[in-house]
């Protein structure tokens, strides 16, 4: 039997590209600050440069991220209503709280970091770490609580988003560290070079670890959806075979996760800085594509 829709109404997409970009930038700076704080907390002096590079990018990226959020509002001049009215059941309200608390504590942390005050930078590092995690973690809940869309409404969403935030943050810092090494290694002693290389190595290894975790999340998300409701089945078919399959499976997962992690896992390829740079760039592209597919793939399946 055939069914043909003769008349139906589809209202335009609720979540726009600006929000996908916002998710990406928030992920980037949350990832950077988590790496930076972890480096500070581990307390080895050779991690200092990583912590500082991370901190600088946190400031830059954080200052541009609210622009995307505000321009997406249909009534942007009313954004301050978010501070007046708190709704505990809405993750956007939590986000408002985190977006205020996070720069405060991280700002103090960055101040002490650049003052070389180890004790206080550690204390504020510990305080701002949960905020750095939640400032990106809430975006996962934002999508997760939209119960209309099966692609979003899954329990792995917050952790999946956090994991990809770590990948994008680390990839970004890896790119910066590689460029920094390329331009400064001539003036450095062999010992300093060793340290820099050690940091690059470490960042790459952690990034590969998170990539493998990410692939696991994708795998469990897609396979569980196959055993879910009709909507979920259609959505996963869309992601696997349909309009988004090229972007999601090939660009995000194969090019963005599997190939870079393979580059990092094999010692020979890991030693090549060009390949590492390519891996980091691929990973950043992969994470952005993942945000894009999540936002638009989730909204592609009709609701009416």
Partner 1 sequence: MEKEVRWGMVVDLRRCVGCHACQVACKAEHEVPLGVWRIWVKVIQKGYYPEMAAVSLPWDCPYCERPEEARYPRMQTLFLPWLCNHCERPICNTVCPVGAAYKRKDGIVLIDPHRCIGCNYCRAACPYNVRFANPITGMIQKCDFCVHRVDAGLPPACVEACPTNAMVFGNLRDPSSKVSQLISKEKVQVLKQIMATFPQVYYIGLDKDVADPLKGWEKHFYHKEYERL
* CB nearer to partner 1: pick between 66 and 209: 66
Tell me the closest approach of the beta carbon of residue 128 to partner 1, in angstroms.
Answer: 23
Contacts to partner 1 from residues 264-293, by CB under 8 A: none
Residue 11 contacts partner 1 per CB under 8 A:
yes
Which residue, 132, 154, 152, 160, is CA-closest to 28? 132
> Would you state the structure tokens that stand for residue 191, as one six-digit string?
């010992």
Taking residues 83 to 102 in sequence order and writing x for each that binds partner 1 by CB under 8 A, - otherwise, the string is -xx-x-xxxxx-xx------
Tell me the closest approach of the beta carbon of residue 100 to partner 1, in angstroms.
Answer: 14
* CB nearer to partner 1: pick between 118 and 146: 146
Q: What is the 3-state secondary structure (H, E, C) of 101-161?
A: HHHHHHHHHHHHHHCCCHHHHHHHHHHHHHHHHHHHHHHHHHHHCCCCCCCCCCCCHHHHH
- Which residues have a Cβ under 8 Å from the Cβ of 47 and sit 6 or more positions away? 39, 40, 199
Q: How far apart are CA 152 and CA 145, in angstroms?
A: 8
Q: How far apart are CA 123 and CA 17, in angstroms?
A: 37
* CB nearer to partner 1: pick between 148 and 179: 148
Residue 134 contacts partner 1 per CB under 8 A:
no
* CB nearer to partner 1: pick between 8 and 116: 8
* CB nearer to partner 1: pick between 14 and 179: 14
Taking residues 203 to 222 in sequence order and writing x for each that binds partner 1 by CB under 8 A, - otherwise, the string is --------------------
Tell me the closest approach of the beta carbon of residue 165 to partner 1, in angstroms.
Answer: 20
Among 17, 66, 72, 195, binds partner 1 (CB under 8 A): 72
Residue 116 contacts partner 1 per CB under 8 A:
no
Among 35, 82, 165, 283, binds partner 1 (CB under 8 A): 82
- Which residues have a Cβ under 8 Å from the Cβ of 36 and sit 6 or more positions away? 50, 51, 52, 53, 54, 55, 58, 113
Tell me the closest approach of the beta carbon of residue 110 to partner 1, in angstroms.
Answer: 28
Residue 45 contacts partner 1 per CB under 8 A:
no
What's the chain's Rg over C-alpha atoms? 21
Q: How far apart are CA 132 and CA 112, in angstroms?
A: 17
Taking residues 227 to 256 in sequence order and writing x for each that binds partner 1 by CB under 8 A, - otherwise, the string is --xxx--x----------------------
Among 183, 191, 267, 303, binds partner 1 (CB under 8 A): 303
* DSSP 8-class letter at 186: G
Tell me the closest approach of the beta carbon of residue 135 to partner 1, in angstroms.
Answer: 15
Q: Which helix (H) or strand (E) holds 240?
A: helix 230-240
Residues in contact with partner 1, counted by CB under 8 A, come to a total of 50
Residue 88 Cα to chain centre, angstroms: 24
Residue 186 contacts partner 1 per CB under 8 A:
no
> Would you state the structure tokens that stand for residue 41, as one six-digit string?
């907390």
Asked if residue 293 lies in contact with residue 248, where contact means CB atoms within 8 angstroms, the answer is yes
| Interacting residue ranges for partner 1, rule: CB under 8 A | 1-12, 14-16, 72-76, 78-79, 81-82, 84-85, 87, 89-93, 95-96, 142, 145-149, 229-231, 234, 299-304
């Amino acid at each position: 039997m055939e069914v043909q829709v003769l008349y139906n109404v589809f209202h335009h997409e609720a979540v726009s590209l600006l929000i996908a970009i916002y998710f990406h930038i928030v992920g980037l700076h949350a990832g950077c600050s988590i790496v930076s704080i972890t480096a500070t907390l581990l307390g080895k002096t050779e991690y200092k440069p990583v912590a500082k590079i991370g901190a600088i990018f946190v400031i830059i990226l954080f200052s541009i991220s609210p622009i995307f959020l505000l321009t997406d509002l249909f009534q942007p001049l009313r954004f301050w209503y978010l501070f007046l009215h708190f709704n505990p059941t809405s993750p956007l309200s939590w986000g408002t709280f985190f977006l205020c608390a996070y720069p405060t504590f991280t700002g103090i942390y960055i101040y002490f970091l650049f003052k070389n005050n180890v004790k206080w930078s550690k204390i504020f590092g510990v305080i701002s770490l949960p905020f750095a995690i939640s400032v990106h973690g809430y975006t996962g809940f934002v999508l997760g609580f939209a119960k209309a869309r099966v692609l979003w409404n899954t329990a792995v969403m917050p952790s999946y988003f956090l994991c990809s935030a770590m990948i994008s943050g680390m990839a970004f810092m890896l790119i910066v560290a590689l460029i920094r090494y390329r331009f400064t290694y001539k003036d450095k002693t062999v010992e300093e070079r060793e340290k820099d290389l050690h940091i690059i190595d470490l960042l790459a290894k952690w990034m590969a670890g998170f990539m493998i975790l990410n692939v696991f999340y994708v795998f469990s998300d897609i396979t569980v959806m196959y055993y879910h409701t009709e909507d979920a089945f259609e959505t996963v078919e869309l992601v696997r075979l349909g309009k988004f399959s090229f972007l999601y499976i090939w660009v995000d997962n194969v090019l963005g996760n599997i190939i870079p992690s393979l580059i990092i896992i094999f010692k020979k390829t890991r030693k090549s800085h060009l390949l590492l740079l390519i891996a980091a760039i691929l990973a950043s592209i992969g994470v952005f594509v993942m945000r894009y597919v999540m936002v638009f793939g989730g909204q592609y399946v009709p609701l009416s």
